[in-house]
Amino acid sequence: MTPTLSPQVLGRAENAHRALLESLLAGSGLGYPQWVALKIAAGAGPADRGDLAARIAGALKTGAPAARAALDDLAAAGLLDDGGLTAAGRDLHDRLTAAVTEATARAYSAVTAADLATAGRVLDAVTARIDAELA
């Protein structure tokens, strides 16, 4: 029987994704908050730290202090400076992104493109409703 989307089904999928991601981050010096900060900084280019912190806080559903701490961790590791990602930060981002892309492609390979598109639309709609509840 095909399960209906529920918090439990979604939670199992999220936990599996998170475990996969954390296995790929192992040895990189990054935890999940730092990974999210790295991804956002990579997409932002040179940006104000306050703006980056706000975007990270929104993505992580956390407060600004935790988001700023993740940025501080990246800066302390030499991955981020006032101009955005350093060369080391860009290199780490690119290597980890390639590994994540490869691993998720394997995981999603048994699902049709149409089912992935439907799942994407459903999850976007659910996320938008939850974000509205939290606002």
Map out the domains of the chain with their CATH numbers: 28-134 (1.10.10.10)
55 has pLDDT over 90: yes
* Cβ contact 38:20 at 8 Å: no
pLDDT tens by residue, 99-111:
999 999 999 999 9
pLDDT tens by residue, 13-29:
999 999 999 999 999 99
User: 81 forms bridges with which residues in the sheet?
Assistant: 84
Residues ≥6 apart with Cβ < 8 Å to 122: 5
The count of C-alpha atoms lying within 13 angstroms of the C-alpha of 113, restricted to the half-sphere facing its C-beta, is 0
- pLDDT for residue 45: 67
| Segment (H or E) for 81 | strand 80-81
Look at the pTM and tell me if it is higher than 0.85.
yes
Structure tokens at 33: 């908050």
- pLDDT for residue 2: 82
Q: Please state the rounded mean pLDDT for residues 84-99.
A: 96
